[in-house]
Structures are given as structure tokens and as C-alpha cells.
Structure 1
Amino acid sequence: MTASTVTGAADLVREALEVYGDDPAAASILHGYSRRLEEPLRIAVAGMVKAGKSTLLNAIIGEEIAPTDTGECTRIVTWYRFGHTPRITMYPKDGESRILPVKRVDGRLVFMLGNVQAEDVDKLDVEWPSPMLRTMTLIDTPGIASLSEDVSARSTSFLTPADTPSEADAVIYLMRHMHSSDLRFLESFRDTEAGRSGTVNALAVLSRADEVGAGRIDSLLSAGEIADRYRRDHNLRKLALGVVPVAGLLAQSARTMRQQDFAALQQLAGLDRTDREKMLISADRFLRSAKPEGLVREARASLLARYGLFGIRLAVVLIRNGFDEPTPLAHELARRSGLDPLLDLLSRQFQARAEALKARTALVGVEALLRMSPRPDTGKLAAALERLQVNAHEFRELRLLATLRTTGVPLSPDLAAEAEGLIGGWGPASHMRLGLAADAAPDDLADEARRFLLKWRAVAENPLTDRAALDACRVVIRSCEGVLAEASALQRLRKSA
């Protein structure tokens, strides 16, 4: 994201405040957009009931601070943002906000609402000193398609408002299988005011992936094949930037492993293989087993609740194969849960584009305000908005990416796929655009960028290229020029060092 585009978005919001400063409601909205430009990217975690949203959120943060039961708090939109000290603020629908006590039970954060009912709470705001929250604000939403229409409506109205940008800049959408209701939600998120700017800003997660293979050791492999099939599905591909299988429960427990967990898993790993396999046939057998001696039923129940049979089986195999210390075991379990690929996608597709996504949200918000509350003195503001939206190359890339994944561009399949990569479809970093390794030398980056630039200039100049594809070619050429300029700057820096 260029500094000029970010500055332009901030300047535009300030100009709008000068015009609408006498309107308290409009001014409040614009101040909100101004703050959003300075805050971390807002990413909502959404999905159907029992999709594992809170569990995955805990795994991403690395602490058990989001409630995962079916209590009152899972029915409330809850924000998780960085703070130097833990702090929980409740915002009721009526009345003043109030600070809730910070209380942990068995390592988990518990929200003490007192005599306030969930339906009377607008949102909860949790500040927490987690490094992950420095770069993104996570928003846990109630289940969509809940049996309670009120609960479901909360998520829908929060994520897909009719006339204003969504409170979230991007969405991680969890699904256990791909159903029409999942597609309808993602379609509606794309059709919000922010979505109509021409941006695909959702990631799909095949959650509870360990259940795909009934908890077998190879469950994630089976889930990976299903996710790959979903990834190629035309209906989903146009709505999500990727599909990742994740065993959320295992990811959460691996990131929050306790010493007593490891000690219990070590005991299980020391059993005879036949005895161990018999006891891990089912959850009931595991709980009723008398082996190993010393592993009481309460400890077994805790392991089962935290890791599931899949996680226990995998952890035992890893311990027997040399992961005999808590930290290496926790890292390997997290990696095998599918969490690492998800965090990588979050980094490449969302955090690397954070400034562009936030600026887009602000500009769409100003545009909606101009349309809904027109004034005779907004002509200059509207012209500045249009110039910024048209000329900012980051927005042109986002629009072309959405077009390539929806209606398509009249290019050959190979060229269309190449264009998608060059405009940052697999990540905006230069080496990702060019299909090179992360440690590629500046000379290699420059040579490859130059090769692509010449190739796409030739495509644009070819009289056989469909006129409808020329705009796409120009965007790709501009992207190649940007990568080449960056690589050339790195070359000069290296030579001067």
C-alpha cells in the first residue's frame, strides 16, 4: 500500500468531517473511520453454530480467553484487541459501559455478566496482552443460522449491514462442510457496501478437520483433499481467497499445552501398543480403561476434552517418535493441526494488505455517506473520492482479483492464472507475485519481474488480445513495474552497502 493512498484516505475523511461536522451522527461515523485507519486490521471469525469459532480464535491468539461452551457469552459479539493489561468492558444496549472482573477458571477466562442477559448486551470488548493482537483485532461472532433468530441476526447485521461498511475488514469463515447456507453468507458479505468495492476478503476454514476421518491419524490428509476440492469449486472460489483444513481443538490445546497434559500423554505413550490401541478405539473405552495406573478418570476426561481422540493419538505417536519435551511437542501438534497454513494465509492475504483493506473501508464509508446524505457543497469531496478510488493501484489490483475469480477476463487460462499471481492473488510480497522463493536475491527478482513485464506488454500490444482484457493487462503491467522498481531499489541498496 503506497503512503500516498493511505494519506489520501485519511485526508478524505478529514475533508468529509469539515463538510459534515455539524451533523453529530455523520461526524461520529467519520471519526470511527479515522480511527480504523490507525488501528490494526479487524478480522471477524464467523460460521454456523458449533463450527468451532471460539476454539479457533483461542488457537490464533495462543490463550484460552474466548468462551467455547454454549453459555450466554457465545451469543454476544466479542472484540479481542491488544492491551498492555487485561481488561473486559461490557457495552449494554442501554446505559453506560462497565468494566467486568477478569477471572480465570481452570486456565480459561470467564466473563462475569452478573444479572445482565446476553440479549441486553451490544458487545464485549476484551483487551489482552497477546503479541498476535498487536497486528490484528479479532472479533468473535455468534453462530449464523442459530435456532435463536435473535442470535443469528446479531452476526448477520454486524457483518453484513445494508448501507454501511461492515465493522470487519475481512472474515475467517468456518464451515464443517460446504453447504448452500455457507455460500449464501459469503455472498452476502461480498455484497455489503465494502464488498461492492470489488474485493474478495474472506478465508474459508474447513473446521473440525480431524472429524473428517473419524479421528484417525490421517484425518488431516483426508480433510486436505476435501479442502482442495472446495478450493477449486467455482461457487466458493469467487467468494474466498483460500480454503484451509484445521483441527481447531488440537490447535487450541497445542498452543496452550499444560505440564499436566504432557505428563499424562507421556504415560499413555509408555503403554504397550496393543493396550494403547484398544483403549483409544472410542472415547468411552478411553475413559473406562484402568491403564496406565495412576492416570485417574478426571485426568483422562480433561485430556479428551482438550485434545480429542485424534489429538491424543497423534501426541502419543509423536512422543514415541522423539518429541519427548513439552515445547517441541506443542509446536509439532500445532503445525499438524493445520494452524500454521492458516496463519500464513492470514499474513499473506490479510495482514500484508491491511492498509489497503482499511483504506478501502474508509473510502466506501465516505462514499455511502455522500450517497445517503447528499449536500450541495460535496462536489469537490466526491471528485477527490473518485480520483483516489480510480487511481490507487492497490484498489485496481483488488478489483481485478475479484473479477478474475468471479466473471473472469477474456484471457487464456494460463494467462489468467499468471495475472492472478502477479497482482498478488497468492500474497502481495514480490517473491510471491513472481513465484520465487522467499530468499530470492534482488537480481533474480529484477530479472523475473523484467521478464514478466516484457511478456505482458507484448500481450497488451497483440492485436488478437480481446479489448475487454486490455484493462486487466494494464493493471498487471503496472504491478510488474512496481515489483521491478522495488527489486531495482534493493539492487542499488546492496551495491551501496
Structure 2
Amino acid sequence: MSRHARADTLDDAVRQLMQEAWDLSGEDARTAAELDHLYGRLQEPVRLAVVGPARSGKSTVVNGLVGEQVAPLPLGDGHDVVTWYADGPSPRVTAWTADGAAQELATTRSVHGLRLDPRPTRRSGITDLRVAWPARSLRHLTLVDTPGHDSTADGHRAAGEPAVAEADAVLYVTPEIRGADLQILQTAQDGPVAAAAPVNTVIVLTRADEVGGGRIDALLTARQRARRQQRDPAVAAMCTGVVAYGGLVALAGRTLSDADFTAVAAIAGEPRDTQDVCLLSADRFAGDDSPLPVDADLRRRLLHRLGIHGVRLATTLARTGCATRAELAAELVRRSGLAELREVVNGCFIERRTVLKARTALAGLDRLARRLPGQDGVHLRARVEQLLATAHDFRELRLLAAMRAGQVAFTGEAGTEAHRLLGGHGTDAAVRLGADHELSGGELWDLTADAMHRWQQHAEDPRLGLHQRRAAAAVVRSCEGMLVALGS
């Protein structure tokens, strides 16, 4: 590609900039290897790092997104390493050491999930595990499960830092948002590329089913709390969204067996007084002297898989209308928050994979430019800054971040529409327009033209402030891009 070739899309522009970097690097082997790596990343699925404090529930997030119990995978010496989950034709686990050596590991699958043979991994110097797993959810996504940190910024930098730095986006997993968590996320936003293309993070509030001691309305309460925290300007400035997630309930719904359903239905058939007494606590439910018509081993298995809240919820659902295993499984998944988590991952990350991978590539080019001598480095850094400043995809990200942080605001329905048209809920044209996916291309075109006309009026409205008019002009540009795409 000529260095002066016309770049029609952000992806084209990044590739063109890489070609310029290759031309500037001359015969430097290290720089050429880095550019080859960055170019290869553009072809790969989005890398999504799952990050959070130790014992925060990261594995339940991974399991929910994959759809099976594949995490965690501790080594034979008991410690965790960075674990990569990618799509593959058959299950396969490969261990990598710091010197680049690879070894395929023996694995087993059971009711408790995927497990490693611990013997070959003791004192082995393994730094990464690569798991190939056949899953539709991994076709456009590589999950990177990182070791838990100690809830401090220093701990975060020590735990899986290279994997996080290489990630295109982050799921930050925590039972509750604390000041230390926001400090960690702030640290991750350091650097010129992160400032120009902000916030590639979603916060997942795990242990949602433990709110209020696992009450029957725990998941609903956790979802309401997530919405309140998302409106907090300090939180909104650090992430694109906050999602409440009950991992045990989600995984139980995805893997509910006929035996599990039969046991739940038997408990639900008992008198309410008996159920209420036995479900007061985990100890009463699992005790050998329980009057429930399910043996103790099976009750303990249910408790392990669903938690006390999940058992209460499943029993209530079975008693009030979920008459089959499929109905109960679907309702558990729906209430767990898994569907919302998947929607957020799809809308914020998978649909924006081009801009997220471009962001990663530009961060790499910026680091490379700082090593190039003299005017070559100055030129490449200037070109990176120019692309970050002018590409509309990055303008959308900056404006969405400013709106979430309250720096730019529109009143009433205008604010909701602006957020949607800028791709805050997803980049598909129907989603941006808040329209039915069944509409024809011509109908979507008409809706887009109407929206563009409204926002052109906002952009020229003298009653609005300068920041609002500039934001309105950016919304107009998003509508123009949709019209071009719908007309092609």
C-alpha cells in the first residue's frame, strides 16, 4: 500500500499508518517484529481481559460468557496464571512458559467443569494457559482471565499486566465499586491514546445473588444498585456501563440437568411452611435432618451449584409456573443478568471491534514512535495524534464518555437519543435509531434522515452552549455515516 493511499475507513487508515511505520523503521528487526504483531492483531477477534480483585467472581463471568464451566484452571502448585479462552474445533489446553516453550496438557471434564492433570504443571514455570474451546460466543471474542489482584493499584499492575496491556477491552469484576477500584481504572486510562479514545471498560458487579443475605429479590436489588452507580459521574467517567450479574444462577441455568430439575420440583411441591423453614439458611437446607424429600448429597450439590439464593429462586419459580426443565433454566438465565452482560459485551466490544483494535494498534504505534530516532519518531507520533483527533469513531467514544461524566448534556429525550445515535447501545443502524430490526433499508434510511435533520437544527440552535452544538454536530456526522452505509 502506498503511504499516500486514500484511507476510506478507520481500519484502512490504521493499516496505512502501519505501512508508513514500516517505511520509517528501515532494517530494524525489533521494530519490524512489533509491526508484524500489531498487524496480526487487526485480524484477530477482540481480546477482552477479565480483571478484578482476588475471589471477586471473575471465573463465574468467564463461565457465563463461554456457556460452560471452564474456569478457573489452577496449576498443580495451586497458583493461577493468565488463561486465554479462544474458539477452537475441539477442547485443548496448551501451557506456555516465559521462554516461549509450549506443552499440551491433559484435561478432564466432569460435573465440576474442565480440570487439568496437576502433575505436569508443578514447579513448571508456566506463565500462560491457552484454552481452545468450541463455543459460538468465542468466534469474535478471546477472553483473557487474569490472576486476581489485591484491590490496590500496585496489586493490579503486578497481576497479569502484560495481558491487560495487550487487551482491546476490559471487564472489571468486583462485588462492589470502591475507591481503590476507580483508582485502578484511572491508572489504566493513562497515556495519549487512552485519553483520545477513552473508556474501553465495563464494570461487572458480581455476587449479585448474595445481596441482602441472598433474599429472593437479591438480583433485582443488585440490578437497581448497578443503575444507580452507573449514574455516578465518578464511575461513569471510568467505564461504559455497570452490569449486575449472578454467576452461580447463570451457570446453573445454562447447565441445569433433569436430575436437578426433578429435585427442585420435589422441594417446590412441599408445604410452604416446610420450604420456608428449610431455606432459612444453607446449613438448614443441607442438613442431614432436613424433612425435604431429596437426599442430603443432592441438596448439597444444588447448594454448591446455585447458592442459597439460587435454590430459593429456583424453588419459587418451579412453584409458580416453571413446569419443565427448559422453562426453569431459561428463567434462571434471564434473571441472572447474563443476557444483559452478553448484550453489553456485544454492543460495547464486539460491534465496536474495529475501533477497539485500531485503538490497540495506535497505542502500539505510539510506543514504537517514541523509540524511533529524530524526525522519524516525531513524524509518526504526529500522524498517530492526527488520526486520533480526526477519526469520527474516536469522536463518538470521547463524546459518549463526556456525556456519561456529565460534561456534555442535553435535556429530556434529546440526551437519550444522542447517546443511542452515537452508538452507546450498539452500532447497528436499527439499534442506533431505536427501531425494529425488521424494518427495510429504505425505512431505516428515512428514520436516519429525519434524525439527521433534527440534530442539524440542534447544531445550529443559538440557545445551546458551544459544547452542546459541537456534540450535536458529531451526532449529525454519525447520522451521515449511517446514511452512507444504508445507501451502499
TM-score for both structures, normalised by structure 1: 0.88
Aligned pairs (5 A) from 1:315-354: 315-354=314-353
RMSD: 2.9
Following the alignment from structure 2 to structure 1, what is the Cα–Cα distance between the partners of residues 392 and 417? 18
Structure 1 position 314, deviation (Å): 1.4
Cα shift at 1:232: 0.7
The one-character-per-residue Cα deviations of 1:360-413 (angstroms, maximum 9, x if unpaired) are 211221122112333544676556545543443212212222233347237667
Counterparts of 2:258 and 2:29, CA distance in 1:
54
Q: Is the 8 A contact 2:144 2:163 kept in 1?
A: no
Q: Which residue of 2 aligns with 1:227?
A: 226
Q: Which residue, out of 59, 64, 71, partners 1:54?
A: 59
Q: Is residue 36 of structure 2 the alignment partner of residue 31 of structure 1? A: yes
Corresponding letter in the other structure for 2:336: S
Please state how far the C-alpha of 1:316 moved relative to its aligned partner.
1.6
Establish whether residue 270 from structure 1 lines up as the match of residue 274 from structure 2: no
2:13 — aligned with what?
8
Moved over 6 A (4+): 68-71
- Provide TM-score, normalisation by structure 2: 0.89
Taking a change above 3 Å as real, the CA distance of residues 137 and 284 of structure 1, as seen in their structure-2 partners, is same
Letter in 2 for 1:32: H
Comparing 255-264 and 382-391, the one that deviates more: 382-391
Q: 1:82 aligns with which of 80, 87, 91?
A: 87
Q: Which residue number corresponds to residue 161 of structure 2?
A: 157
Bigger mean CA deviation after superposition, 480-489 or 358-367: 480-489
| Alpha-carbon distance in structure 2 between the residues aligned to 1:352 and 1:458 | 29
Q: Deviations over 1:215-269 (max 9, x none)?
A: 1211112112211110111100111111111111111221122333223223222
Give the alignment of 1:173-322 within 5 angstroms. Answer: 173-192=172-191, 194-291=193-290, 295-322=294-321
Contact 1:56 1:252 in 2 (8 A): no
Residue 482 of structure 1 corresponds to which residue in structure 2?
481
Q: Report deviation, 1:334.
A: 0.7
SS of 1:80 mapped into structure 2: strand
Give CA-to-partner distance per residue, 1:427-446, whole Å, 9 cap, x none.
22223323334444545533
Return the alpha-carbon distance in structure 2 between the equivalents of residues 254 and 300 of structure 1. Answer: 17
Say whether the 8 Å CA contact 1:142–1:152 is kept in structure 2.
Answer: no
Distance (whole Å) between structure 2 residues aligned to residue 378 and residue 209 of structure 1: 49
Unaligned runs of 5+ in 1: 161-165, 490-497
- Deviation larger for 69-78 or 186-195: 69-78
Secondary structure of the residue aligned to 1:78 is strand
SS at match of 1:110: strand
Change in Cα spacing, 1:96 to 1:263, as seen in structure 2 (3 Å) is same
SS of structure 2 residue aligned to 1:16: helix
Q: SS of the counterpart of 1:63? A: coil
- What is the percentage of aligned positions where both structures have the same residue? 37
Q: Residue 36 of structure 1 aligns to which amino acid in structure 2?
A: R
| Structure 1: distance between partners of 2:78 and 2:454 | 55
CA distance in 2, matches of 1:130, 1:312: 28
Partner SS state of residue 166, structure 2? coil
Contact 2:75–2:121 (8 Å) recurs in 1: no
Question: What's the CA shift for 1:272?
Answer: 2.2
Q: CA deviation at 1:24?
A: 3.3
Cα distance, 1:110 vs structure 2: 1.2
Summarize the alignment of residues 86-105 of structure 1 with structure 2, pairs less than 5 Å apart.
86-94=91-99, 96-105=101-110
Distance (Å, rounded) in 1 between the aligned partners of 2:74 and 2:103: 24
Task: Give structure 2 stretches of 5+ with no counterpart.
Answer: 1-6
User: Which shifted more, 445-454 or 180-189?
Assistant: 445-454
Report the 3-state secondary structure (helix = DSSP H, G, I; strand = E; otherwise coil) of the residue aligned with 2:205. Answer: strand
Partner of 1:495: none
Task: Give me the whole-angstrom Cα distance separating, in 2, the residues matched to 1:465 and 1:309.
Answer: 53
> Residue 157 of structure 1 aligns to which amino acid in structure 2?
E
| Contact 1:213-1:220 within 8 A present in 2 as well | no
**Alpha-carbon distance in 2 for matches of 1:462, 1:153:** 47
Do structure 1's residue 141 and structure 2's residue 146 form an aligned pair?
yes
Of stretches 344-353 and 433-442 in structure 1, the one that deviates more from structure 2 is 433-442
How many pairs align?
Answer: 482
AA at the equivalent of 2:150: A
* CA deviation string 1:131-175 (max 9, x = no partner): 11111001111112169x997544362366xxxxx2111111122
Distance 2:175 2:456 in 1: 44
Secondary structure, aligned partner of 2:265:
helix
**Correspondence 1:446-485 to 2 at 5 A:** 446-485=445-484
In 2, are the aligned partners of 1:193 and 1:368 still within 8 Å (CA)?
no
Amino acid at match of 1:189: A
The residue number in structure 2 matching 1:419 is 418
Q: Distance in 2 between matches of 1:203 and 1:439?
A: 29
Letter in 1 for 2:69: E
CA contact (8 A) 1:51 1:175 kept: yes
